Structure 1
């Protein structure tokens, strides 16, 4: 597992995403790239890019995979994270 974001929000996101038993995961805080845009939080940790691989995504549509991620993150998506781009794959997919 890789996390280039290590703040408290990123740490909590990774903890919650562990429920999907990822075989690979990368979470990048892209908040600074959104300075001056809607949802930007000067404290950071408002915009993320997630790449996650999990057997839980096998046979699931892109939308179903995103729903699994959002369900795992729960209230963080409503209270703290403004934007999350997701690349969710099953093992063996490219």
Structure 2
């Protein structure tokens, strides 16, 4: 599993940048980590060769308080809907409210 600190020092592609921008704007997170895991899936089904098809998002936002895991994931998916429709093949989501265990 890539180290989030290392992931931040690597070049960010347009899809990853869009994920960060949209989640920041729509959900106002207190913590946001986006990891491009596409290299681990090179040559697999869903790999479009762009290097930006598989992502992991770890997000903490006050808007997740009192919501179920499914409701939280729906908020993230709604924010990224068109990217999920055409650019992102796989998205792992870990969403929590402030104060919840990581």
Q: 2:88 aligns with which of 66, 72, 81?
A: 81
Please state how far the C-alpha of 1:36 moved relative to its aligned partner.
Answer: 1.8
1:6 aligns with 2:12: yes
Please state how far the C-alpha of 1:41 moved relative to its aligned partner.
Answer: 2.0
Q: Distance in 2 between matches of 1:37 and 1:30?
A: 12
Deviant stretches of 4+, over 6 Å:
none
TM-score (norm 2): 0.86
Structure 1 or 2: more helix by fraction:
2
TM-score (norm 1): 0.93
Give ranges in structure 2 of 5+ residues lacking alignment.
Answer: none
Give ranges in structure 1 of 5+ residues lacking alignment.
Answer: none
Two-structure CA RMSD over aligned residues (Å): 1.4
Q: How many residues align?
A: 93
